[in-house]
Structure 1
Amino acid sequence: MILGSRKHSKKRDAILGLIRATETHPGAQWVYDQLKPSIPDLSLGTVYRNIAIFKEEGLVESVGVVSGEERFDADTSPHPHAVCKKCGKVTDLSEEVQAELIRNFSVNIPGFSIDKRNTVFYGICMECNEETAALGR
């Protein structure tokens, strides 16, 4: 069952459960496409409305817009992502990479207390690099 003050809903539970069950950082369209066969009366609007509720309640975080679609992560702990500009793959960076980033990019802003961060790196993933190299480009 979903946390928060919202009314219990099987659709809401299915949407959140799917986002929590994947590491692909899905968008609303992907969630809709996955659930529609098992929930025939599901609408894309229902998916968007419920994701907005999850964001408001802190159950999911927005990774940002990738290839024209907002993508989401159920892991709401502070952690950086890498986004492939070619295929749109979103990857959580390892704890080792996170530790290195914190060591190298610690910032003290005078008169400002940081309580949240969202770090996203953009580039080309290994698979796309290998594909490009194989094509001789």
Structure 2
Amino acid sequence: MNATGFSTWKGTWKEGDGTISTETDTLKNAFYSYASRFEGAKGASPEELLAAAHAGCFNQAIVNNFGMMGLKADMVNTSVSVEMGLDEENTPAITKLFVTVAARVPGISQKQFSYCADRARLRCSIAKALKCEIGMSATLVEA
């Protein structure tokens, strides 16, 4: 299976704007600009979309890990924050991702949960594609 994203852009880096879309029409012509990426203005950002993709990928990875132990999650809520900074050439770069996960998994121990969360943090397909540090906070919610 291949996934495809699209983007259009017109104008300069700081004064132009564009759209971001997915082949499946899940996201269609979402507006983005320099200001929406780096200054908190209204609009999308590629980094926000990466964060959402990573959260979804992580959730499937962690529940797969639970399943390999014969366990089933009642709930998994995950957010991923993307930290932007400057690289060694003083250009914008993703410097860190941070995963925050809370899950309710009947019958799981803290040790098993930590193992599953850390394995998902390192092994989900989005994490494997990234070269930056991926931090995490994992919380097991009691039933």
Q: Is the shorter-chain TM-score for this pair beyond 0.5, marking a shared fold?
A: no
* Structure in which a larger fraction of residues adopt helix: 1
Normalised-by-shorter TM-score class: under 0.3
Q: Which has the higher contact order (CA 8 A, sep 6+)?
A: 1
Report the structure, 1 or 2, having the larger strand content: 2
Question: TM-score, length-normalised on structure 1?
Answer: 0.27
